[in-house]
Amino acid sequence: MSNTIKSWFLEKLAELFGFAKAYAQALLPILEGDASLLLQKILPIALTAVESLATSGLSASIKKQTAFSQIETAAKNAGISAGSSAINLAIELAVANLSANKVSK
């Protein structure tokens, strides 16, 4: 994983879950293995799903359920085996990314 991606990922983990960057750094070795490869595959799918639902007018819980279903289906269609934890993490990272982009505009 490149240093730029690592830095962004650590910042997002810390922002998203409200813990210190040092704690996020402790998680990074776990995420650099298969989990990282999986996230690299499903995060673009999650970004698309979350962005498409952002202004839908649906409740947050319905948006999450819909995004989950869309990601799960798209991942299966792409031959990607992703469990619910990976999909939920991808959704949370996509939401954090969308929120960060709104603030920076």
Do 40 and 23 contact (CB within 8 A), yes or no? no
- pLDDT of 16-26, one tens digit each? 666 555 655 56
pTM of the model: 0.68
What's the rounded Cα separation, in Å, for the pair 64 and 97?
Answer: 15
Amino acid at 104: S
- pLDDT of 42-87, one tens digit each? 999 999 999 999 999 999 999 999 999 999 999 999 999 998 988 9
What's the rounded Cα separation, in Å, for the pair 49 and 44?
Answer: 9
pLDDT of residue 69: 98
Q: Please give the C-alpha separations between residue 44 and each of 5, 51, 77, 90, in angstroms, as whole numbers.
A: 14, 11, 14, 9
